[in-house]
Chain A
Amino acid sequence: DIQMTQSPSSLSASVGDRVTITCQASQGISNYLNWYQQKPGTAPKLLIYDASNLETGVPSRFSGSGSGTDFTFTISSLQPEDIGTYYCQEYDKSPFTFGPGTKVDLK
């Protein structure tokens, strides 16, 4: 199975800060990577697909980049409603593993 790691596991930031999360795959996955946001008690929400494409309706402050094994997710200016946990997910090979998540909260 492909292993996915994320860092940091958690972070605290202020409103307006730039937030960056990294995701690493144990083997090359081209750009077969998605990013999801999950708020407590709710289902995950797709933000970024194919590593860098913004899902329809998602604010442009969210972005993604990378290919191969190393990926980055960025919130350009953190807003209070962005609090939650962010997961990367590879879809190159079954079992389409999710990363362990990065919890983002307000400082």
Chain B
Amino acid sequence: QVHLVQSGAEVKNPGASLKVSCKASGYSFSDYYIHWVRQAPGQGLEWVGWVNPDSGGTRYAEKFQGRVTMTRDTSTKTAYMELSRLRSDDTAVYYCARSHVVVTLDVWGQGTLVTVSS
């Protein structure tokens, strides 16, 4: 079975950095992009960016450029999203999801709740 399993909930202070992990199983990790999508409390879905597990290449939404870094470790089939200079409006559930060539997200992780508060 195909699964994406994310790391646990985090509480961070404003200005801090965050690193969330997403471990893949049940498929060839290198064959699918890993995307990160976030959802603020009671709000809709917002695409953050993707990492290509094969090449390590990345693409980020312009809104997050300069604050986000997406990486992967092919030996452990794990993707990571790091977000720096956290603000209170970064409080959200962060999901990882996979896609093949186009951005059709067919498998999702369970989500990681990130709370930014002093």
Chain A residues close to B by CB (< 8 Å):
32, 34, 36, 38, 43-46, 49-50, 55, 87, 89, 91, 94-101
Contacts and interface: CB of A to CB of B under 8 A. Distances in A.
Given A43-B108, A43-B109, A87 B102 contact: no
Interface residues of B, number: 20
A98 B35 CA distance: 14
B106 A46 contact: yes
Contacts of B105: 34, 36, 44, 46, 89
Nearest to B111: A43
Interface string B17-56: 0000000000000000000010000001111000000000
Given A43-B95, A43-B111, A97 B106 contact: no
A36 B95 CA distance: 14
Interface of B: 37, 44-47, 59, 61-63, 95, 97, 102-106, 108-111
Contact of B44 (A49, A55, A99): A99
A94 B45 contact: no
Nearest to A56: B106
Nearest to A41: B111
Contact of A43 (B44, B47, B104, B110): B110
Nearest to A50: B104
